Chain A
């Protein structure tokens, strides 16, 4: 498996859908035989996983939007994306 780096361009894997749960209004990730309820950070990150932006660009965008230190966000983003990659829910372009 390709390792996750700051220059990787993550995209949702084929067959993975991001949508809002009609009952709770919360974001969920749907994939074959599974549902993942997303926290706000994961939702914000996944919204930017379009295969065009690098991890670094995603972090910079979110840092500006939420007015937090990129340093802090970077660790969270790498952990979250690493977990999603392990579960095949994202792929690296």
Chain B
């Protein structure tokens, strides 16, 4: 069966002014030089030919690229819908207008919490007030504003206030995403994982807000999968809809795929994007259902959750083919249960802030 990618995540740089301890960038950065302007332009054109409709401009912090407006212009020319995924640090009026005028379609700003003290403690820098100002500029510019807030042990109890902030800023979309434990997030898991009581309280706050704000702000609450009984349909299936190009040009089936040490990722400097998508070993490693072990292979859900997340399986069990241990049917669910049990008794301790390469 032929698959077609719908969305490309372009990680333009690993540089970032923030030091969030849950960053999903790899904790060990790959060696190599960042793709140049013309290389990205070629990637965008090739992606559009493959069928990609959505482009996420991410990082690191994409505003760190001085050629960002030029890249957005190239994306528009290729017919891609571009969304800037940013901390908004450095997004002043002039820069915002230059990006909008180049053809940017929407902006997603990350917030770490609803108020400055906690937000800045999480980000490891004074960013909250600058984010507030930038969010106002975005709303005034006519671009649709989305907010993304990563939830964890230290901010999840403030969910109601976080939702109020999104309302106040006029966001059309609010993504409330529990931390996923890859990269720096995996490193800091013990400091970030919320308790069951916290998660249940947050879920009801989010549900109430979703109903109350329907037709105004689209509230998306992503449940933390450790507290679920079945795995998430990670990436809607491996190599089915999404691809990521990292700052040095490696093409990944998911942004966290470097969590799987056995995989080799091909590079846009050496191969056409279409070849990498269709033919490369990494993209074919977990396509379809033939790779699946039991119980996935015979599970009625196998085309629904695709066996869960390959990166999580690799990180927790050491076997990238294993059933995602989040699944209640997984032979190794006990690994997740042991982590959850330790969360209930864990004493607060310091996390490792994200570092730049």
Q: Are A33 and B48 in contact (CB under 8 A)?
A: no
Interface pick from B113-121, B138-146, B248-256: B138-146
The residues in A between 24 and 63 inclusive whose CB is less than 8 angstroms from any CB of B are 28, 30-33, 35
Question: How many Cβ-Cβ contacts under 8 Å join chain A to chain B?
Answer: 49
A17-B81, A17-B105 as given contacts; A32 in contact with B4, CB under 8 Å: no
Is A23's CB within 8 Å of the partner chain B? yes
Q: How many chain-B residues does the 8 Å CB contact rule pick out?
A: 22
Q: Are B105 and A15 in contact (CB under 8 A)?
A: yes
CA distance A32 to B82 in the complex (A): 9
Determine the main DSSP class of A at the interface with B.
loop
Interface pick from B49-57, B229-237, B331-339: B49-57
Q: Are B49 and A32 in contact (CB under 8 A)?
A: no
Q: Are A23 and B4 in contact (CB under 8 A)?
A: yes
Against A, the Cβ 8 Å flags (1 = close, 0 = not) of B141-179 are: 011101000000000000000000000000011000000
Against A, the Cβ 8 Å flags (1 = close, 0 = not) of B40-61 are: 0000000011010110000000
A30-B53, A33-B83, A35-B54 as given contacts; A14 in contact with B48, CB under 8 Å: no
Determine the main DSSP class of B at the interface with A.
loop
Q: Are B79 and A86 in contact (CB under 8 A)?
A: no
Is A64's CB within 8 Å of the partner chain B? no
Residues of A near B48 (CB, < 8 A) are: 22
Q: Are A14 and B144 in contact (CB under 8 A)?
A: yes
Q: Are B51 and A32 in contact (CB under 8 A)?
A: no
Q: Could you list 19 A-B pairs, sorted by A, with CB under 8 Å?
A: A1-B215, A1-B216, A14-B142, A14-B143, A15-B143, A15-B172, A19-B79, A22-B48, A22-B49, A22-B51, A22-B79, A23-B4, A32-B83, A32-B144, A32-B172, A33-B54, A35-B54, A88-B215, A88-B218
A contact residues vs B (CB 8 Å cutoff): 1, 13-15, 17, 19, 21-23, 28, 30-33, 35, 86, 88
Q: A13-B144, A86-B215 are in contact. List 5 more A-B contacts (CB 8 A).
A: A21-B51, A32-B172, A35-B6, A35-B53, A88-B172
